[in-house]
């Protein structure tokens, strides 16, 4: 299929590599400043013949990009994090336009598996209130939002099952070029249980995002990666 990349930064480059390796065409790369970009902004001409767009930019521009793509009847995979306070504005817009959008704070398939494991773990731990629960997320120094979208999602899962706690204690660390590590710790007076997901590189996010583009092509509606995973497993 014909994929357009919106945001030709670190993720945009990795997505291009993965998309090409899966037999897709990537002729359109939109970015205001990046070397190698084919267009500076989203336009009807730029997106002619494009089957789906993959958006990895920055929290402050993602919402405008999503609106422009919906206006142009283009389906989109949104990987940018930190715009979720606008979901209630975007969802009805996508439904009204009849386009397709799939988003996730973390397109790694392994992280989705981690979320599924955490559902079960928090359910079990809800019976044991002698454990303190905390979380640490470590990302590269360029990441613009904190805590990470993935950490917030884990906090949501926790709140669903552990009603004695109103929030999860999250420590965000920004360090070097770390692609993304999420560690959940349960500590009692006698032991410590640790669960961790550690991305080795960015390729896992890019692969999930390209799989999502293949999935969203021709679909209508507002989806998360969970909807795609439900179909896959």
Ligand X SMILES: NC(=O)c1ccc[n+]([C@@H]2O[C@H](COP(=O)([O-])OP(=O)(O)OC[C@H]3O[C@@H](n4cnc5c(N)ncnc54)[C@H](OP(=O)(O)O)[C@@H]3O)[C@@H](O)[C@H]2O)c1
Which CB sits closer to ligand X, 32 or 218? 32
- Subset of residues 178 to 217 that bind ligand X, contact rule: CB under 6 A: 205
Stretch that binds ligand X, among 51-59, 67-75, 87-95, 129-137 (CB under 6 A): 51-59
Residues ≥6 apart with Cβ < 8 Å to 123: 161
Q: Is 13 a catalytic residue?
A: no
99, 20, 17, 4: which is closest to 57 by C-alpha? 4
| DSSP at 217 | T
Q: How far apart are the first and last CA of the chain?
A: 24
Counting contacts by CB under 6 A, is residue 11 touching ligand X? Answer: yes
- Subset of residues 19 to 38 that bind ligand X, contact rule: CB under 6 A: 30-34
Nearest residue to the partner ligand X, using Cβ: 9
Pair 220, 98: CB distance under 8 Å? yes
Which CB sits closer to ligand X, 61 or 93? 61
Pair 179, 199: CB distance under 8 Å? yes
Counting contacts by CB under 6 A, is residue 221 touching ligand X? Answer: no
- Subset of residues 75 to 114 that bind ligand X, contact rule: CB under 6 A: 79-82, 104-107
Four-point Cα dihedral 59, 65, 67, 73, nearest 10: -140
Which CB sits closer to ligand X, 57 or 99? 57
Q: C-beta of 126: minimal distance to ligand X in Å? A: 28
- Subset of residues 130 to 169 that bind ligand X, contact rule: CB under 6 A: 143
Stretch that binds ligand X, among 7-15, 18-26, 88-96, 181-189 (CB under 6 A): 7-15
φ, ψ (nearest 5 deg) of residue 224:
-115, 170
Strand partners, 55: 6, 78
DSSP SS3 for 204: helix
Q: C-beta of 139: minimal distance to ligand X in Å? A: 8
230, 146, 232, 77: which is closest to 155 by C-alpha? 146
Spatial separation of the C-alpha atoms in residues 204 and 18, rounded to whole Å:
10
Q: Is 127 a catalytic residue?
A: no
Which CB sits closer to ligand X, 81 or 99? 81
Stretch that binds ligand X, among 52-60, 123-131, 161-169, 182-190 (CB under 6 A): 52-60
Angle among Cα 30, 35, 41 to the nearest 5 degrees reads 25
Pair 52, 217: CB distance under 8 Å? yes
Q: Which of 6, 109, 151, 157 is the binder for ligand X (CB under 6 A)?
A: 6
Single out the catalytic residue among 29, 68, 136, 139.
139
Note the residues at the interface with ligand X (CB under 6 A). 6-12, 30-34, 56-59, 61, 65, 79-82, 104-107, 143, 205
Instruction: Give me the active site residues, please.
Output: 139, 143
């Amino acid at each position: 299929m014909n994929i357009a990349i919106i945001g030709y930064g670190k993720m945009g480059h990795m997505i291009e590599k993965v998309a090409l390796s899966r037999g897709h065409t990537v002729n359109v790369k939109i970015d205001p400043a990046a070397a190698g970009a084919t267009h500076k902004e989203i336009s009807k001409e730029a997106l002619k013949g494009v089957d789906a767009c993959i958006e990895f930019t920055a929290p402050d521009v993602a919402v405008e990009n999503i609106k422009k793509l919906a206006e142009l009847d283009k389906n989109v995979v949104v990987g940018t994090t930190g715009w979720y306070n606008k979901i209630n504005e975007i969802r009805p817009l996508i439904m009204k336009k009849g386009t397709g959008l799939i988003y996730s704070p973390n397109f790694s398939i392994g992280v989705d598996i981690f979320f599924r494991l955490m559902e079960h773990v928090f359910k079990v731990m809800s019976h044991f209130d002698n454990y303190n629960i905390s979380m640490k997320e470590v990302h590269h120094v360029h990441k613009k939002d904190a805590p990470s979208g993935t950490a917030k999602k884990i906090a949501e899962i926790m709140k669903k099952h552990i009603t004695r706690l109103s929030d999860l204690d999250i420590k965000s660390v920004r360090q070097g070029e770390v692609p993304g590590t999420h560690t959940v710790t349960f500590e009692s007076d006698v032991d410590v249980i640790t669960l961790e997901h550690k991305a080795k590189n960015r390729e896992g996010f890019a692969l999930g995002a390209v799989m999502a583009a293949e999935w969203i092509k021709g679909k209508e509606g507002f989806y998360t990666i969970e909807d795609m995973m439900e179909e896959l497993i």
